[in-house]
Amino acid sequence: MPTRTLSNSDSLLQIEGITEPQVLQYFETLNAGNFQATAALFAEDGILEAPFEDSLHGKEAIAIYLTAEAQGMQLKPQEGVSQTLENGQQQVQVFGKVKTPLFWVNVAWQFILNPNGEIAVVTVKLLASLQELLNFKNPSQNPSENSD
Task: Encode pLDDT of 94-119 as tens digits.
Answer: 999 999 888 889 999 999 999 999 99
Q: Between residues 8 and 123, which one has the greater pLDDT? A: 123
Ramachandran region, residue 58 (left: φ > 0; alpha: ψ -120 to 50; beta: rest): left
What is the tally of structural domains in the chain?
Answer: 1
Question: Quick check: is 76 in a domain?
Answer: yes
Question: Quick check: is 106 in a domain?
Answer: yes
Question: Quick check: is 42 in a domain?
Answer: yes
Return the CATH number at 68: 3.10.450.50
Range of the domain at 42: 21-136
Give the residue among 14, 12, 20 at the shortest CA–CA distance from 93: 20
Question: Quick check: is 12 in a domain?
Answer: no
SS3 string, 83-129, reads EECCCCCEEEEEEEEEECCCCEEEEEEEEEECCCCCEEEEEEEECCC
pLDDT for 27: 96
Question: Quick check: is 1 in a domain?
Answer: no
DSSP lists the bridge partners of residue 113 as 90, 119
Task: Tell me the pTM.
Answer: 0.80
* Confidence category of residue 2, pLDDT binned at 50, 70, 90: very low
At 40, give phi and psi (nearest 5°): -65, -20
Task: Encode pLDDT of 63-92 as tens digits.
Answer: 999 999 999 899 999 999 999 998 999 999
Question: Quick check: is 79 in a domain?
Answer: yes
pLDDT for 148: 38
Task: Encode pLDDT of 11-66 as tens digits.
Answer: 578 899 899 999 999 999 999 999 999 999 999 999 999 988 999 999 999 999 99
Question: Quick check: is 123 in a domain?
Answer: yes
